[in-house]
Structure 1
Amino acid sequence: MTATFTPKNSLAWHALNPLWQGAEDAVQKGLPHSKLAPAWQILLLGDGSPTRHLQLLTGEPTEVDVIDMSLVGEDTDGAPQQIVAVPGPRLRRQVWLRTASGQRLAYATSWWEASHVDEYLQNKSLPIWASLARLRTELYRDVQGIYCGDSVALESAFQESGPFWGRHYLFWHRGKPLTLIYEVFSPYLTKYLGRDSIKP
């Protein structure tokens, strides 16, 4: 799918309405298994590539549908506070991560320094992990927060009832923040990971 640039703030992004949220300390310590099952903690709190994890879970390539690329300038765009680490002016990218057969597995929004996005996302239709792997870019995924919450838009898009688990993290490259990413995973993944939790 070909992405087009749209005017500033032309399309809102889908933040969860949190029922529960944890900061970096919760990420580092992990959560009680009564709140979030171990397999889900590996997906949400680990520093591995979610697109790679999804491919391994489903046995299908993880593909991307780009739904928005908007210039947001210096606006913090309602993003997590770590947005200030990404230099402006910024570009916001929104995608669905899905199997090759079409099952939506996750939603992601990322914010990039607009002047450098083409350098790292040469093919906008590839998952970020695939784009950066092609460039042999060395990265550190720094998970900063985790959420359990509701979203009417995501309930409709995933065709699954909430609440949903999500997280946000910074990608670091050469000691500098490259992008901020906010991800929400579909409850469909319980098919592979088992029950996620006792809901908060």
Structure 2
Amino acid sequence: MIYINNKYKFYKTTNLYISNNFIEAPIPKAWKLILTSDGSFTQNLNSITNKIINVNIKKQYTQDYTNKKQIVRQVWLQDTDHNKLTFAQSLWYINKYSNIRLSDNIPVGQLFLESGVDIYKNIEEVYCGHSIYLEHHFNSKDVIWGRKYKMYCREQILAIVYEFFPAHIINII
């Protein structure tokens, strides 16, 4: 189970084994492409939909701990028709390598490109399941696919990201 916004739940019904960004399970190729892509998913959506993809910040705040700061960020990726295509929840570690300033409306991948920061994305989990909250916002009762990955810079963790995709997203591919 994954908590969204500390109160809504995502229930995993299936965990898929992933190794070196490769899924052996017999799932449609379109899903393998979405779930294992280590590039900018927002840019991929721009290309696939031929529409501008907007970042809609649902929530962003800083958590202060004794020895560290973290930024929690929750965003919706939407097309110009306001269709919600992806929900992402991320935890950003503030350290000397994370001089990225998270912007309200600029996709994270674009921020990395503009800043010249070289990152590595390690996809750790791929799963599908259900969430009343996400089903409501995606306007769908179908299964929701998701993935968890960590982003690194100079072998230091920058962020942990959870992304959730509605089943109907493959209809636009």
Identical columns (%): 22
* 2:128 alignment partner AA: C
Please tell me whether residue 142 in structure 1 is matched to residue 136 in structure 2: no
- Residue matched to 2:171: 191
Gaps of 5+ in 1: 1-10, 75-86, 194-200
For the residues of structure 1 that align with 2:91 and 2:113, how far apart are their CA atoms? 19
Please tell me whether residue 133 in structure 1 is matched to residue 126 in structure 2: no
| TM alignment of 1:163-182, pairs within 5 A | 163-182=143-162
Please tell me whether the aligned partners of residues 68 and 94 of structure 2 are also in contact (alpha carbons under 8 angstroms). yes
Gaps of 5+ in 2: none
Larger helix proportion of the pair: 1
> Shift of residue 136 of structure 1?
1.9
Please tell me whether the aligned partners of residues 120 and 131 of structure 1 are also in contact (alpha carbons under 8 angstroms). yes
Larger strand proportion of the pair: 2
> Shift of residue 123 of structure 1?
2.3
For the residues of structure 2 that align with 1:47 and 1:70, how far apart are their CA atoms? 26
* 2:23 alignment partner AA: G
For the residues of structure 2 that align with 1:41 and 1:128, how far apart are their CA atoms? 22
- Residue matched to 1:17: 11
> Scaled by the length of structure 1, what TM-score is found?
0.75
> Scaled by the length of structure 2, what TM-score is found?
0.85
Distance 1:15 1:107, change over 3 A: farther
How big is each residue's C-alpha offset from its partner over 1:29-76, in whole Å with a ceiling of 9 and x where there is no partner? Answer: 41333xx211210110121211111111100111110011133445xx
- Segment of structure 1 superposing worse, 102-111 or 117-126: 117-126
Please tell me whether residue 32 in structure 1 is matched to residue 12 in structure 2: no
> Shift of residue 190 of structure 1?
2.5
- Residue matched to 2:79: 99
* 1:91 alignment partner AA: I
Moved over 6 A (4+): 115-118
CA RMSD of aligned residues (A): 2.4
- Residue matched to 1:69: 60
For the residues of structure 2 that align with 1:15 and 1:117, how far apart are their CA atoms? 32
Distance 1:105 1:126, change over 3 A: same
Number of residue pairs the alignment of both structures matches = 168
Per chain length, whose mean CA-contact separation is higher, i.e. which structure has more relative contact order (CA < 8 Å, sep 6+)? 1
Distance 1:162 1:121, change over 3 A: farther
